[in-house]
Structure 1
Amino acid sequence: MKTLCLVISVFLMTAFNSQESNKLSGGWQITTNKGLSGQWIMAEKHFAVTFYKGNDFKYTYGGSWKLTNNNQIEITYEFHTDDKEKVGQKEKFDYTLKRKKLEIGDLTWKRTDENKPGELAGAWLITGRERNGEMNTMTPGARKTMKILSGTYFQWIAYNSETGDFMGTGGGDYTTKNGKYTEIIKFFSRDNSRVGAELAFNYELKNEEWHHSRKSSKGDPIYEIWSDRVDLGI
């Protein structure tokens, strides 16, 4: 009987955490009292937070997340531009969810979407890139290039989850319509002159992989394949 009660208790807690996770997933934004703009993308198991001011990128961090049995958010850092030593570390935070507002510490985030309408919502790793007319398979390891999307926000991040080295990031808003994926850049760590630019790509989902293509500014073809991190188990 005790075993049955324990199984039921675990099942109910798992179901509750799953429902609560669905409530937290999506896009969030904030403007701090220091005038920083913040963007937070929460996919099924992964997240990315970025702060910027005007055209100037400030910092970003992210990794994986889950809810604990104490109803806290537990995050594991895979990258952190302000504190490399946090990579691989875990932190837990109390939170309060009130309709479309998420309070964590002294910050209140406002929901922008619930992973809709973008059919590309999720966390993706690059697993293929065409070079000289041939598709080269890429196996994600410690060195990762991730794209994480809510229903309206996107961010790409290049980093090493073992060493904490960070290579770059960019992000902002995106749309998917009639086979076109369009990015509107709001921050770019390498070159803030790119802020405000719009980049349009052809996209298609094939066998649960995201095929992504366009011509470069020089007219060279760009063709990439991105795979869902949940499907990859990474």
Structure 2
Amino acid sequence: MKTTKSVLCIILLLILTASGEVAAQIAKGVYHFDQEKEGSTVHHELKISDSYFIHSVYEKSPAKFIKTLGGFYAVENNELKVDLEFNSDYEKDSITELAIPYVIFDGNLILNTNNKMIFVRAESNEQELDGPWLFATRGPDEGQKRRGEADSRKTLKFLLDGRFQWIAFDTEGFQFKGTGGGSYTANNGTYAESIAYFSRDNSRVGATLQFDYEVKGDDWHHKGKNSQGEPMYEIWGKRGPM
């Protein structure tokens, strides 16, 4: 039944697209799509803000990170055009930009790639820390040098509707360093992450980490223990509008 509904949905979308009746901006949010491949389920997650796009792919059971890519996007003539900042598969495919035809139907985002993918938008779950953050420095804040937008080496943390992802990359040479992500909550000074994928160590999937946080101006002060159980104090700076 689910497959039949998907096929009918695609047929209707193709008819509407051909007649020029489907044209819509992409609503900000988190979108999900499950793909059956070689006997396993591959999960695709899109995080889309007003101007930034991240596509992450992984298997849930057994845990396996597959790839991630992302960057600033614009919509032109029903195409999603992305100028990538990072691509974990860059050494294999050399891709630095995307141009993906898309349509919106019944609130879902359909990407017309080689295999059409129907992404379902998750319910909105806005929280205080939602938005893009760049790692600035180790705490405490004592006037030390900070990393920021001008540096080619970046660690981006992107939080949206209860989902988080960090990505370490260097725009010089288009180098990808690592990523991890999953779900998060931020309430009353307590921030918790549940890891759904981790490019450096699949065995860390399923772990939940809890931290203390405080927002001071445009800085997020993040204290606790890292995934190895070591104490940490990080300061993240709010990135510009994305």
Same-fold call, TM > 0.5? yes
Specify which of 217, 227, 230 is matched with residue 207 of structure 1.
Answer: 217
Q: Is the 8 A contact 1:43 1:121 kept in 2?
A: no
Superposition TM-score, scaled by structure 2 size? 0.77
Aligned residue runs from structure 1 range 40-51, under 5 A: 40-51=46-57
Tell me, in whole angstroms, the C-alpha distance in 2 between the residues paired with 1:122 and 1:164.
23
Name the % identity.
Answer: 36
Q: Is the 8 A contact 1:119 1:151 kept in 2?
A: no
Deviation at 1:102, TM superposition (A): 0.5
Deviation at 1:135, TM superposition (A): 6.3
More helix by share: 1
Q: Which residue is 1:58 aligned to? A: 66
Matched, 1:120 2:134: no
Deviation at 1:100, TM superposition (A): 3.1
Return 5+ residue gaps in structure 2 as ranges. 1-22
Deviation at 1:29, TM superposition (A): 1.0
Paired positions, count: 208
Return 211-220 or 163-172, whichever deviates more: 211-220
Deviation at 1:218, TM superposition (A): 7.7
Aligned AA (1:144): K
Tell me, in whole angstroms, the C-alpha distance in 2 between the residues paired with 1:129 and 1:47.
27
Aligned AA (2:100): F
Tell me, in whole angstroms, the C-alpha distance in 2 between the residues paired with 1:118 and 1:99.
25
Q: Which residue is 1:29 aligned to? A: 32
| 95 and 178 in structure 1: CA distance in 2 versus 1, 3 angstrom threshold | same
In structure 1, the residue corresponding to 2:25 is in which secondary structure?
Answer: helix
Return 5+ residue gaps in structure 1 as ranges. 1-16
Superposition TM-score, scaled by structure 1 size? 0.80
Aligned AA (1:73): L
In structure 2, the residue corresponding to 1:97 is in which secondary structure?
Answer: strand
Deviation at 1:129, TM superposition (A): 1.2
Tell me, in whole angstroms, the C-alpha distance in 2 between the residues paired with 1:219 and 1:50.
26
Deviation at 1:214, TM superposition (A): 1.1
Deviation at 1:184, TM superposition (A): 0.4
Aligned residue runs from structure 1 range 148-163, under 5 A: 148-163=158-173
Q: Which residue is 1:86 aligned to? A: 95
In structure 2, the residue corresponding to 1:193 is in which secondary structure?
Answer: helix
Tell me, in whole angstroms, the C-alpha distance in 1 between the residues paired with 2:166 and 2:230.
21
Deviation at 1:111, TM superposition (A): 0.9
In structure 1, the residue corresponding to 2:240 is in which secondary structure?
Answer: helix
Aligned AA (2:108): K
Aligned AA (2:25): E
Return 216-225 or 40-49, whichever deviates more: 216-225
Runs (4 or more) in structure 1 with deviation over 3 Å come to 133-137, 215-221
Q: For 1:102-136, what per-residue CA distance to the aligned partner results, in whole angstroms no more than 9, with x for missing partners?
A: 1011011111134x3222221111112127x9564
